[in-house]
Amino acid sequence: MSSTDSPAAKSPVERDRKAEHIQLALEDRMQHGSRGFDAWQLEHCALPEIDLAEIDHSTEFLGKPLAAPLLISCMTGGTADAARINRNLAIGAERTGVAIGVGSQRKALEDPSLQPTFQVREVAPTVPLLANLGAVQLNCGYGIAECRAAVRMIDADALVLHLNTLQEAIQPEGDVNFANLLPKIEAVVEQLEVPVVVKEIGMGISLSVAERLSEVGVRIVDTAGHGGTNWARIEAQRADDLELGAVFAEWGIPTPDSIRAVASLPGVTVIGSGGVRTGIDVAKAVALGADVVGLAYPFLGAALESADAVVSRIERTLTELRISMFCAGTRTLADLEAVNLIERAVR
């Protein structure tokens, strides 16, 4: 299916695709069995000389305060279930003081009737909210006007341009022309009124790619590395080609490696995501160099249940983060960035 097909012709198929993504992402077999974070351990501090009550994991992102360095990563939109998921996630984000992104808004730009499934600012008035489009759409007729429209649609604080070459290559209806995208990303960075975040969707961002992005003005990079939801398997399931999904199931850069690589660049804010499942993983990501840490899968099931379930899941993650910081002897996120990480063999 080409990007020039009419929205009316594509909308039912796209809605089915979004619904399939939600359903498949919830299956355990669509998650990576091993995670890069399992190879790292925070050094235990038996004598922290601090009170657990003193732990402060607050920070700032996109000019707004956060209670913790957490981002509910971009997931979905465009279906009835997606509307409920996004609303529950947004309520949870607002009540706990963490950031949130929405899924790709391309279909809502082509079919305005889908816009309400993304519009959550009413229930999340104070926290950072991220809009989202596929970077490849810049080769499919999209430009600064569509980027601005995506931001305006949800009153966003930033725009995510996501990179998903493997997903698009396996996806039956994928857009695979990624040629000469960097100058177009640069044009968006220069013209858009809000910051641009460039993120992967599960395969990681290398140092060389991060350097090229930094050279054209991108100041926020989301690693979204290997170790979380396995989009190769999901799209292969949809394409009825499980063998292809198995071949590419382990493709990608482990999230910790991607975080360390991107964090080595001066002036770049790092969102560490990809296989982050617990507050311990959040602490490890910060120690590896992440400024903000993104989670998606841990909140998806809760979002299908209720906003209260999302709040409970976030609060649990924050409890795990606080205990990790306490047992590592760190009072603040700045202290956590300097903690010793021990690399260990993963069995």
Residues 37-46: tens digit of each pLDDT: 999 999 999 9
Domains and their CATH numbers in the chain: 35-343 (3.20.20.70)
**Over residues 250-254, mean pLDDT:** 95
Whether residue 35 is predicted with pLDDT greater than 90 in this model: the reply is no
Nearest to 70 by CA among 300, 315, 255, 258: 315
pLDDT score of 7: 36
Question: What is the pLDDT at residue 26?
Answer: 66
pLDDT for the residue 115: 97
DSSP lists the bridge partners of residue 220 as: 197, 269
What local confidence, expressed as pLDDT, does residue 254 receive? 95
Percent of the chain with pLDDT over 70: 93
pLDDT of residue 33: 60
Say if residues 251 and 203 touch (Cβ distance below 8 Å). Answer: yes
Instruction: Give me the mean pLDDT over the 139-147 stretch.
Output: 98
Give residue 3's pLDDT.
35
- Tell whether the model's pLDDT for residue 9 goes beyond 50: no
- Whether the per-residue pLDDT at 220 is higher than 60: the answer is yes
User: In whole numbers, what is the pLDDT of the chain averaged over residues?
Assistant: 92
Residue 74 confidence (pLDDT) above 70: yes
Q: Which two tokens stand for residue 218?
A: 């991108």
pLDDT at 346: 59
Sign of the CA dihedral running 4, 244, 24, 68 = negative
The pLDDT tens digits for 269-298 are 999 999 999 999 999 999 999 999 999 999
Structure tokens at 172: 């039956």
| Spatial distance between the Cα atoms of 233 and 224, rounded to a whole number of angstroms | 16
Longest dimension (CA), the chain: 64
**Which are the contacts of 290, defined by CB distance < 8 A and separation ≥ 6?**
69, 223, 259, 263, 270, 271, 272
Residue type, 311: V
Q: What is the model's pLDDT at position 347? A: 54
**So what's the pLDDT on residue 10?**
42
DSSP 135: G
Percent of the chain with pLDDT over 90: 83
Rounded to an integer, what distance in angstroms lies between the CA atom of residue 130 and that of residue 210?
20
Q: What phi and psi values does residue 289 have, to the nearest 5 degrees? A: 130, 0
The answer to whether 65 and 58 are in contact (CB under 8 A) is: yes
DSSP 38: G
What one-character DSSP code corresponds to residue 42? E
Cβ-in-10-Å burial (0-12, 13-18, 19+) of 317 comes to buried
3-state helix, strand, coil in the chain (%, to 5): 50, 15, 35
Residue 12 has pLDDT above 50, yes or no: no
Q: What is the pLDDT of residue 244?
A: 95
Q: How far lies 223's CA from each of 153, 204, 220, 329, in Å?
A: 25, 5, 10, 27
Please write the tens of the pLDDT for every residue from 151-172.
999 999 999 999 999 999 999 8
Provide the token pair at 236. 């292969």
Q: Which own/partner contact pairs does 276-280 have at CB distance under 8 Å and 24+ positions apart?
A: 276/37, 276/228, 277/35, 277/37, 277/228, 278/317, 278/320, 279/316, 279/317, 279/318, 279/319, 279/320, 279/321, 279/322, 279/323, 279/324, 280/37, 280/42, 280/320, 280/321, 280/324
Closest by CA to 199, choosing from 102, 68, 266, is: 102
Amino acid at position 161, single letter: L
Instruction: Render 263-300 in DSSP notation, one character per residue.
Output: HTSTT-EEEEESS--SHHHHHHHHHHT-SEEEE-HHHH
Q: Using CA atoms, how far apart are residues 143 and 162, in angstroms rounded to an integer?
A: 15
- Can you say whether the dihedral through the CA atoms of 69, 75, 81, 86 is positive or negative? positive
**pLDDT tens-digit series, residues 98-135:** 999 999 999 999 999 999 999 999 999 999 999 999 99
Q: What is the pLDDT of residue 1?
A: 31
Nearest to 246, CA basis, from 18, 21, 25, 30: 30
The per-residue pLDDT for 272 is 98
